[in-house]
Structure 1
């Protein structure tokens, strides 16, 4: 069954609300056992829409499905989120299967309507002394906003392909306690100043492939966590062939008590971002284990504001007791960065980490004097780093067992305004470690 939404009265004028026609088309297809709802070229303004089993929402080239810019048009969908409370969404599905959003069109989430760009999200000591250029790097201040714009819970066989999603006010694609997920060849482009505007966030999901996608996000491009079900792991995930830009981490695994296992990531390009890879177990009993990452090129820098992260290419952190990170292999990485690789454990709770074939080139960065005074382990306590003006260690490793550093080349970045800083690694309380062919380059690299 194929239904064009204009046949049911939807108007492509961008000012007439069309959710009635769109929801009717979805319901009709669902009741007949499945089908395709076609959104043709034009701009279709809409309030929230519920997606249902065996129905494909297909956006033709030139189609823009535009979410309402008015917060009063959003309602509680009936799911309570551990971090965000009552969920409000634009597109949502719960307890459904075989759902697709496909095509060459665009979903516009109207995120800027819910932001105040004249104010910073948080008050911090350096705020009053920022230049206008630095202020434009900070997080803007959200007003009331939809908190899970595209939301799936307890769904199976989810497919997103070909579409563009723009201007999210918060987490963009949010998938919870679901399985058999494929996200392929989509673009997610958000305003880089919008806090919490993750690209794809999988919570307690299993069997997911995220491949050949493009991201510009104010928060993590791809995040794996267990925020909405702390006891259910997020597992069996592949992330590959993606281009990413973010004010947080390109790829994040773990948060607080999240359980993450069996992740493969490869062939990633990370552009002008705050962090490259972030692996965290920083609650009371979180873990991340069995992770393989390879073939990554990245440039990371320190941005003004209170973003989590300070220009680190790789962070592996379990700074609280009771957590565990183990069996992590990261290889074939070229990083141009304004801060260190960080491997930061407590009481030896990070085990069996291999960094292999890594080239890292370090630059000082214009924001370092104001924003690099601590080792950023947020949301955990961030220890002071008193020598931040004269040392940028290529790695800072602490409380780790079986750390292997193999074929590492580290040096200065050519774009750094000065070279009067020490880039030698710092190591504390390591056990059974192997360092092989760790070499300082005497050449500056662009």
Structure 2
């Protein structure tokens, strides 16, 4: 089954804790500190796999966690670094932060491998904290915490040209005729339920990749029908081929169809709607009308707007060569670089500097302070050591928590409670 979207949870590995220990050897009763450092936590890495073309692998498994680093050991033993976790995705996958929908990475072009979440650094063992005045440090640094995110994966196919048009106008037949693609073809609306990619090879000219975007209908940009599910796949295309049923075999008006498709593209993304377009007036082998030439009608309507019209037959092959060589020529005049979306969300910065809320309440004559950042800092800091406690006090001051307590009326000797821990307040 084709899958072009998925929502998954990713978590890097926590750094291993540093170790606090001392040399205990024969004839060395008071040996110095020899606690080793913790190992690095595993990274979460996304990598392009050219053999994949859907996100189906993420439909059944949604949580991906890297390993934690090993804690340090005695005798200066360094904890083992954890293995990274590598998630393979098809080329063209965009990774977005789920809450803001900002882009973390676009796995296309030169970007074939990206570290999205870094594992935590290992904590330092107590051998690093010995000084002239503190020769027996009992403090070892905890490992840096893991990072975690919910991300949306979104596949936008890599193609130079997008085929758009209403259902049943002959797009699949056209694609099968001009490329190596083998789409299913039948006389049903929405026969094509997946974007089909094909490569056009031209003698004496540069080939290109073409994508058949499943049939759009009026209201697709607002979620009507299935077309809106696939509009994202035209976002990377540099040029659009509008396929219309010039013969009107189902009673449709080809001029009206083109205006409706353009309206849907504009409603979805104005920039996409402004990209170069070509009209493929299909099914000319079925034109029998003697009253009005539908090809001339299309030309008189759209060529003054700068949109070329090519009469073609996907069944007989008539007119296809002229259309394809024209498209190849137009692409040569455009930027050859693929359309790559810029990064908007930087997990490292966002997760470290995020301004998490906290509350200060007076409950049973105690000042209760709670909040996610405080909870994380308590897990990160060794309060049993003098150094760790001083570090935590500095955090409380810089975060404005001490100021909030004073505004709430706290006095020296009052009790402060934070997640089960209680302290006496002193200035």
**Higher helix proportion:** 2
Q: Which of the pair has more CA radius of gyration? A: 2
TM > 0.5 between the two? no
Normalised by the size of structure 2, how large is the TM-score? 0.24
**Higher strand proportion:** 1
Q: Which has the higher contact order (CA 8 A, sep 6+)?
A: 2
Normalised by the size of structure 1, how large is the TM-score? 0.23
